[in-house]
Amino acid sequence: MAQRVDLYARHAPADWQNVAVEKIADDSLSTSFLIWVREGVKRHFHATHTEHVTVIEGTGEMILGDSLFVVKPGDFLLIPKGVPHSVTAITPMKVLSIQTPRWTTEDRVFLPVMRRR
């Protein structure tokens, strides 16, 4: 079913702590989420999904595979299945995350925290 969602009009729940997630679309081929991040998302990878992320608000320090960089509004990230990634918010963030194929909770695999030298 076709639909329109105003991403700028959506706001995190009043009581959100670190991460808040709202599913905004779902079909057999993909699942789309609006995600708010206050502090960060722990290092993980997706076993069977590719993730497309667009930063809408805020900035963060992103680790994607072996790369470390700052993400900001307007940035688009393609995260292939199996690639470890995490983000630490510099300022609270709002992102659009599209998972393909349809999201399942078994797909996300958390990894040990990496220590910087």
Is-contact 37 57, C-beta < 8 A? no
- Give the predicted TM-score (pTM) of the model: 0.92
Residue 9 falls within a domain, yes or no? no
Residue 57 forms part of a structural domain = yes
Boundaries of domain holding 49: 20-105
Residue 91, SS3 per DSSP:
coil
pLDDT tens digit sequence for 30-81:
999 999 999 999 999 999 999 999 999 999 999 999 999 999 999 999 999 9
Residue 28 domain-assigned (yes or no)? yes
- Domains contained in the chain, number: 1
**Paired tokens of 37:** 């991040």
**Four-point Cα dihedral 74, 54, 3, 80, nearest 10:** 150
Q: For position 66, which CATH number holds?
A: 2.60.120.10
List the Cα angle 40/97/66 in 5-degree steps.
55
Residue-wise pLDDT tens digits, 81-107? 999 999 999 999 999 999 999 988 888
Residue 48 lies in a domain: yes
